Amino acid sequence: MNWENLIINLECIDSLPTLPNVFLRVSQMLNDPMVTAKKLAEVIETDQAIAMKLLKIVNSPFFGFSRKIMTVQDAVVLLGFNATKNTVMTISVIRTLNHESKVEEFNMQDFWKHSIATGLVSRYLAKKTQVDAEKAFVAGILHDIGKIILEQYFQEEMEKVLHLMRTQKISFYEAELQVYKGTHCDLGSYLADKWNLPLPLIEVIDMHHTPGEASEEPKLVSVVHIANVVAKQLGYGCTRGAKEDELDSYAFARLDISASQLEEWAEDVQAYVEESQELFQILE
């Protein structure tokens, strides 16, 4: 199936996943300048699964608060509204898309480990390069969601991509272009647009392999581009047998860092990801 037919088929699918109502309501409420932490907490608490994961994340070493957070309202106050929204978004997307893989050679657990590791590396790099760290964390986790759409609705194309990737020793991205003339970036941004996610996140999903094309928040896209490769180098890859992705020199220039600096940070990055292992169990 070529790209045009794939998109036509995608538009005809009535069962495309939708995000939980809690996230949608939180997003709407944040447009109101009079919204309070108490009101946000009340909405989040209507979904106990999301509320409990939010509290677990807030109490993990990831945020490093000095005292135990007992209520959702306290979590909202300490995180702030934007970080609360980003955290609820992350929990919602993973809960919506996580399922048993329909493609034998695509390991869903490895996929989410890669996604979360990319989020963690993105957060680390963002702090080094004056980019919003919490936005970078969410963007890193969401960057590959198009692979889930390919795996869930177009198994034949996914199997062809994985086969070509391994037999020709090329990247997943390169194999996609050969198989159906599109990529998981296109599929992911299509879904993110359907979900009305913020434009900077849609851009990251769409352009994390081509950061030079970004215009909305090119530094954010560059952070995730680099983090995606670094996460794989740390052993958190989700498509075994693929050729390693190449780092785009534009991303380094846009962030005003060098490859040697990245190498200097390597041990710290690895330690940071390992220290945050609890997040893998909480979010998956």
Q: For residue range 83-111, what is the model confidence (pLDDT) as tens digits?
A: 999 999 999 999 999 989 989 889 999 99
Residue 241: per-residue pLDDT? 67
Question: Residue 61's pLDDT is what?
Answer: 87
What is the pLDDT at residue 129?
Answer: 97
What domains sit in the chain, N to C, each tagged with a CATH number? Answer: 3-283 (1.10.3210.10)
Q: Report the pLDDT value the prediction gives residue 279, as an integer from 0 to 100.
A: 86
- Tokens linked to 172: 């997943």
Q: For 129-179, how does the pLDDT look when each residue is reduced to its tens digit (9 = 90+)?
A: 999 999 999 999 999 999 999 999 999 999 999 999 999 999 999 999 999
In this prediction, what percent of the chain has a pLDDT beyond 90?
81
What mean pLDDT is predicted for residues 204-221? 97
Cβ atoms of residues 129 and 190 within 8 Å:
no
Q: Nearest-5° angle of CA 84, CA 87, CA 93? A: 135
pLDDT score recorded for residue 121: 97
Question: Rounded CA gap, 236 and 240, in Å?
Answer: 10
Q: Read off the pLDDT band of 282 (50, 70, 90).
A: confident
pLDDT exceeds cutoff 90 at 64: no
3-state secondary structure the chain: CCHHHHHHHHHCCCCCCCCCHHHHHHHHHCCCCCCCHHHHHHHHCCCHHHHHHHHHHHCCCCCCCCCCCCCHHHHHHHHCHHHHHHHHHHHHHHHHHCCCCCCCCCCHHHHHHHHHHHHHHHHHHHHHCCCCHHHHHHHHHHCCHHHHHHHHHCHHHHHHHHHHHHHHCCCHHHHHHHHHCCCHHHHHHHHHHHCCCCHHHHHHHHHCCCHHHCCCCHHHHHHHHHHHHHHHHCCCCCCCCCCCCCCCHHHHHHHCCCHHHHHHHHHHHHHHHHHCCHHHHHHC
Residue 240: pLDDT over 90 = no
